[in-house]
Chains A and B, each alone.
Chain A
Amino acid sequence: MSKYYLNYLDELESEAIYVLREVWAQFQNPVILFSGGKDSIVVTHLARKAFYPSKIPFSLMHVDTGHNFPETIKFRDDLVKELGANLLVGSVQESIDQGRVAEEKGKNATRNALQITTLLDAIESHKVDCAIGGGRRDEEKARAKERFFSHRDEFGQWDPKNQRPELWNIFNGKYFQGEHFRAFPISNWTEMDVWNYIRRENIAIPSLYVAHEREVVWRSGAWIPNSEFLVLEPHEEVVTKKIRFRTLGDITITGGIESDADTLDKIVDEVSTMRQTERGNRSDDKRSESAMEDRKRQGYF
Chain B
Amino acid sequence: MIDNNQLLRFTTAGSVDDGKSTLIGRLLYDSKSIFEDQLESIENTSKQKGHEGVDLALFTDGLRDEREQGITIDVAYRYFTTPKRKFIIADTPGHIQYTRNMVTGASTANAAIILVDARHGVIEQTRRHAFIASLLQIPHIIVCINKMDLVDFSEEAYQNVISQFEDFSAKLLVKDVRFIPISALLGDNVVNRSENMAWYQGAPLLHTLETMHISSDLNKVDARFPVQTVLRPQREGYIDYRGYAGRVASGVFRAGDEITVLPSGFTSKIAFIDTYGGKVEEAFAPMSVSITLEDDIDISRGDMLVRSNNKTEVSQDVEVMLCWLNNQPAKDRAKYTIRHTSNDQKAMIKEVIYKIDINTLERNKDDKQLAMNDICKVKLRTTKPLCVDSYRDNRVTGSLILVDDATNETVAAGMIV
Is A160 in contact with B63, judged by CB distance below 8 angstroms? yes
Contacts of B37 in A (CB 8 A): 276-277, 280
Within 8 A of B (CB), among A285-301: 289-290, 293
Give the segment of A110-118, A137-145, A202-210 that binds chain B.
A137-145
Is B63 in contact with A18, judged by CB distance below 8 angstroms? no
Chain B 32-46 interface 0/1 with A at a Cβ cutoff of 8 Å (1 = within): 000111100100000
* Residue A15, interface by CB 8 Å: yes
The CA of A6 and the CA of B413, in the complex, are separated in Å by: 28
* Residue B275, interface by CB 8 Å: yes
In the complex, which of the residues A53, A142, A160, A172 contacts B231, with contact meaning CB atoms closer than 8 Å? A53
Within 8 A of A (CB), among B219-269: 220, 228-229, 231-235, 238, 241, 243, 245-247, 252
Give the segment of B68-76, B169-177, B198-206 that binds chain A.
B68-76
Give the segment of A20-28, A73-81, A122-130 that binds chain B.
A20-28
* Residue A98, interface by CB 8 Å: no
Is A161 in contact with B65, judged by CB distance below 8 angstroms? yes
* Residue B79, interface by CB 8 Å: yes
Contacts of A165 in B (CB 8 A): 100-101, 103-104, 325, 410, 413
Give the interface size bracket for A toward B: 35 or more
Chain A 138-173 interface 0/1 with B at a Cβ cutoff of 8 Å (1 = within): 100110110000000000000011011111111010
* Residue A187, interface by CB 8 Å: yes
Is A275 in contact with B36, judged by CB distance below 8 angstroms? yes
Distance to closest chain A CB from B281 (angstroms) = 12
* Residue B401, interface by CB 8 Å: yes
Contacts of B341 in A (CB 8 A): 170
Most buried by A among B63, B108, B238: B63
Is A24 in contact with B229, judged by CB distance below 8 angstroms? yes
Contacts of B396 in A (CB 8 A): 168-169
Give the segment of B1-9, B120-128, B139-147, B183-191 that binds chain A.
B1-9
* Residue B314, interface by CB 8 Å: no
Distance to closest chain A CB from B112 (angstroms) = 15
Chain A 236-254 interface 0/1 with B at a Cβ cutoff of 8 Å (1 = within): 0000000000000000000
Contacts of B337 in A (CB 8 A): 174
Contacts of B215 in A (CB 8 A): 1-2, 4-5
* Residue B400, interface by CB 8 Å: yes
* Residue A14, interface by CB 8 Å: yes
Is A4 in contact with B247, judged by CB distance below 8 angstroms? no
Contacts of A172 in B (CB 8 A): 339, 401, 403, 408-410
In the complex, which of the residues A10, A13, A55, A144 contacts B235, with contact meaning CB atoms closer than 8 Å? A55
Give the segment of B12-20, B153-161, B282-290, B348-356 that binds chain A.
B282-290
Contacts of A4 in B (CB 8 A): 215, 218, 220, 252, 284-285
Contacts of B85 in A (CB 8 A): 8
Is B413 in contact with A276, judged by CB distance below 8 angstroms? no
Is B233 in contact with A277, judged by CB distance below 8 angstroms? no
Is A53 in contact with B301, judged by CB distance below 8 angstroms? no
Residue of A nearest to B323 (CB): A167
Contacts of B276 in A (CB 8 A): 48-49, 52
Distance to closest chain A CB from B219 (angstroms) = 11
* Residue A188, interface by CB 8 Å: yes
In the complex, which of the residues B2, B63, B238, B247 contacts A17, with contact meaning CB atoms closer than 8 Å? B247
In the complex, which of the residues A7, A164, A293 contacts B5, with contact meaning CB atoms closer than 8 Å? A7
| Interfacial residues, chain B to chain A (CB-CB below 8 A) | 1-2, 5-7, 35-38, 41, 61-65, 67, 73-79, 81, 85-86, 88, 100-101, 103-104, 107-108, 215-216, 218, 220, 228-229, 231-235, 238, 241, 243, 245-247, 252, 274-277, 284-288, 301, 325, 337, 339-342, 395-396, 399-401, 403, 405, 408-410, 413
Q: Other than the known A1-B215, A15-B288, A22-B228, what 11 A-B pairs have Cβ atoms closer than 8 Å?
A: A8-B2, A15-B286, A17-B247, A18-B228, A53-B233, A53-B274, A137-B77, A138-B78, A165-B101, A170-B401, A276-B36
| Interfacial residues, chain A to chain B (CB-CB below 8 A) | 1-2, 4-15, 17-18, 21-22, 24-25, 48-55, 137-138, 141-142, 144-145, 160-161, 163-170, 172, 174-176, 187-188, 190, 192-193, 196, 274-277, 280, 289-290, 293
Nearest 6 Cβ contacts at the A-B interface: A49-B276, A17-B288, A8-B7, A174-B408, A54-B233, A52-B276
Task: Please name 23 pairs of A and B residues whose Cβ atoms are closer than 8 Å in the assembled complex, sorted by A.
Answer: A4-B252, A17-B247, A22-B342, A48-B276, A49-B277, A52-B231, A53-B231, A53-B235, A53-B241, A55-B233, A141-B76, A160-B63, A164-B409, A167-B107, A168-B399, A169-B108, A169-B247, A174-B405, A192-B81, A196-B1, A276-B36, A277-B35, A293-B63
